[in-house]
């Protein structure tokens, strides 16, 4: 299959590449090496530019005011958007907007007016509350947060952990068990306003990302009305599962973008750095590291674009998304590691983005489902005879 961009896609790729290199990268020179946010004035200026480019909210459907860019093109653009210091955590610092709203596209009319549209306009922020202290790899079984019927609504009790942005969001999409006898068929999705009595952010959870963090949430007799149910009662896991599968494709793409940038840096350094009278680029040990980098990048790109193509055609793509996420997150880590080795001592410093990418890439092997879970998904398809028969 030919995965080369067509003329229109290449035009958008060139546009985003120029934007990242001329607008994003120069701003990072004045930020803390672990910084995750731009100055508000710079952020507003760049949002205005992405809107003028017609690329704000690239994953938002046309019916909701977005540019309606297909998933293959979005994947190609995600590779470009991540090629900067903070590329793995906040690709382009959110100035392209619209991420993480897929669940709300299925909301009813009232919920769209109260939550979706204000979020699209930048007036509200949302968090995604799925993972729990009992385990995030198997959410269908690990969800212990419960919601019980009471007074034309639901009372939620439980906790969530590793939730990004909950301390600054106006509401969240929260998954709770509403029927213990039905397994994944007994989970419901709720929209919970951050000022709802009984809900609070228990603590900030610091991770390898240093300046960036997650949160732990607590629900204690938190009552929400029936109007806050997103979708249907006991059918919330389908909403979560669809989100997880789709998110793995751009997640993989951003790993590829960082790997490409790290490899570019290593190649340029190898061409100018001499040791014992010889350029690194002429040493076989370094050449082979660069070859392995290229193999990792190309294989990851193939798997990721294959998953995007299947999603675009409306075909089942969960296995391909798992392959993309597994390959790109693990291969991307290897590429960054080799690139650091080529730079030597300089690769360990915060003068370069490599050490940050190294930490971020380690998180990527866990986020959106750890490598072991992706292997389980792929293995089931292999054993059932699905892989290789398409």
Q: Cα(74)–Cα(11) distance, rounded to whole angstroms?
A: 13
Q: Is 381 a catalytic residue?
A: no
Per the listing, tokens 């380690």 go with 362
Per the listing, tokens 């030597």 go with 344
Transcribe 313-339 into DSSP letters: TT---HHHHHHHHHHHHHHHHHHHHHH
Structure tokens at 20: 């990242």
Strand partners, 225: 153
Of 80, 320, 360, 368, which one is the catalytic site residue?
A: 368
At residue 263's C-alpha, the angle toward residues 287 and 24, to 5°, is 160
Other beta carbons within 10 angstroms of residue 6's beta carbon come to 10
Dihedral angle, C-alpha 82, 88, 92, 94, nearest 10 °: 140
Tell me 7's DSSP state: H
Transcribe 269-303 into DSSP letters: HHHH-EETTEEGGG-HHHHHHHHHHHHHHHHHHHH
Transcribe 111-130 into DSSP letters: HIIIIIHHHHTTS--EEEE-
What is the DSSP pairing of strand 171-177 with strand 126-129? Answer: parallel
Residues noted as catalytic: 368
């Amino acid at each position: 299959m030919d995965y080369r961009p067509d003329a229109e896609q290449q035009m958008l790729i060139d546009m985003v590449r120029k934007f990242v290199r001329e607008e994003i990268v120069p701003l990072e020179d004045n930020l803390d090496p672990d910084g995750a946010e731009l100055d508000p004035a710079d952020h507003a200026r760049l949002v205005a530019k992405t809107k003028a480019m017609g690329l704000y909210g690239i994953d938002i459907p046309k019916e909701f005011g977005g540019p309606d860019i297909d998933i293959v093109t979005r994947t190609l653009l995600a590779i470009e958007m991540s090629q900067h210091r903070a590329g793995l955590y906040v690709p382009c610092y959110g100035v392209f907007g619209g991420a993480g709203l897929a669940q709300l596209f299925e909301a009813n009319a009232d919920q769209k007016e109260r939550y979706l549209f204000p979020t699209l306009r930048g007036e509200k922020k949302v968090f995604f509350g799925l993972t729990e202290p009992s385990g995030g790899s198997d959410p269908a079984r690990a969800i212990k947060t419960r919601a019980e019927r009471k007074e034309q609504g639901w009372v939620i009790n439980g906790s969530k952990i590793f939730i990004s942005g909950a301390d600054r969001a106006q509401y969240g999409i929260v998954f709770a068990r509403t029927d213990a006898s039905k397994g994944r068929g007994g989970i419901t999705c709720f929209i919970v306003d951050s000022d709802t009595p009984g809900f609070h952010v228990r603590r900030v959870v610091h991770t390898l990302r240093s300046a960036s963090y997650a949160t732990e949430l607590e629900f204690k007799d938190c009552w929400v009305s029936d109007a806050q149910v997103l979708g249907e009662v006991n059918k919330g896991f389908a909403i979560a599962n669809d989100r997880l599968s789709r998110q793995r494709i751009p997640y993989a793409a951003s790993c590829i973008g960082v790997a490409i940038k790290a490899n570019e840096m290593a190649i340029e350094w190898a061409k100018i750095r001499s040791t014992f009278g010889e350029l690194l680029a002429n040493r076989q040990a370094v050449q082979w590291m660069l070859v392995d980098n290229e193999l990792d990048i190309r294989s990851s790109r193939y798997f990721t674009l294959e998953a995007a193509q299947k999603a675009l055609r409306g075909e089942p793509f969960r296995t391909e998304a798992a392959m993309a996420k597994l390959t790109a997150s693990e291969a991307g880590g290897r590429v960054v590691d080799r690139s650091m080795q080529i730079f030597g001592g300089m690769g360990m410093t915060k003068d370069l983005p490599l050490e940050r990418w190294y930490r971020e890439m380690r998180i990527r092997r866990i986020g959106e489902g750890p490598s072991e879970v992706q292997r389980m998904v792929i293995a089931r398809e292999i054993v059932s005879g699905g892989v290789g028969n398409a």
